[in-house]
């Protein structure tokens, strides 16, 4: 069983970096890597809201609405998965190790399933960020955020 719990957090970092800069200068990594998961999720939430100030057309507005709605759900899911992760990863110690035994309240199958969910959600965060911009770095929602893509 492979558990890649940190992949999801890394994907939030990359989302933040790609939204803040269309080009990889690596400047945001210094700040973003110091934030804990909750703060990274808050930054992602704030960036999603802030993007609405940079829309260039009605098509962008329509695509933004769908993007924002999707991201709201993805962020909530990421926070729930992180709570699960913390419950598994962070051992709180026993008051009396002689009489108590450590227990993880999740089965190996459940842990593995959640790890896969985290991996898949991480890929979604990457895709959402990559689909925001055109080749010139402008926020245009070139990706598949709208079922009417291709229609004007």
Indicate whether 27 belongs to any domain: no
42 lies in which domain range? 1-19+35-89+103-142
Q: What is the DSSP letter of 137?
A: S
- The pTM score is 0.80
Indicate whether 149 belongs to any domain: no
Indicate whether 55 belongs to any domain: yes
**Each residue's pLDDT tens digit, 102-144:** 566 778 888 889 999 999 999 999 899 888 887 777 777 765 5
Indicate whether 130 belongs to any domain: yes
Q: What is the DSSP letter of 75?
A: H
> At 139, is the secondary structure helix, strand, or coil?
strand
Indicate whether 29 belongs to any domain: no
For the chain, what is the domain count? 1
**Each residue's pLDDT tens digit, 27-58:** 888 889 899 999 999 999 999 999 988 777 77
- Calculate the alpha carbon distances from 115 to 10, 40, 53, 105, 109 in Å: 14, 19, 35, 15, 10
> At 28, is the secondary structure helix, strand, or coil?
coil
Q: What is the DSSP letter of 148?
A: T
């Amino acid at each position: 069983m492979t558990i890649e719990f940190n992949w999801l957090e890394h994907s939030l970092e990359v989302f933040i970096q790609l939204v803040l800069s269309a080009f990889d200068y690596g400047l945001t990594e210094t700040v973003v890597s110091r934030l804990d998961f909750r703060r990274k999720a808050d930054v992602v939430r704030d960036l999603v809201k802030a993007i609405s100030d940079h829309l260039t057309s009605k098509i962008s507005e329509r695509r933004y609405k769908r993007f924002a709605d999707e991201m709201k759900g993805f962020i909530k899911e990421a926070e729930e998965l992180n709570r699960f992760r913390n419950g598994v990863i962070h051992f709180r110690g026993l008051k009396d190790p002689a009489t108590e035994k450590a227990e993880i309240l999740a089965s190996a199958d459940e842990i593995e399933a959640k790890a896969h969910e985290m991996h898949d959600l991480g890929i979604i965060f990457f895709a959402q960020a990559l689909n925001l911009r055109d080749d010139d770095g402008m926020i245009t929602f070139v990706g598949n955020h709208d079922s009417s893509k291709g229609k004007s």
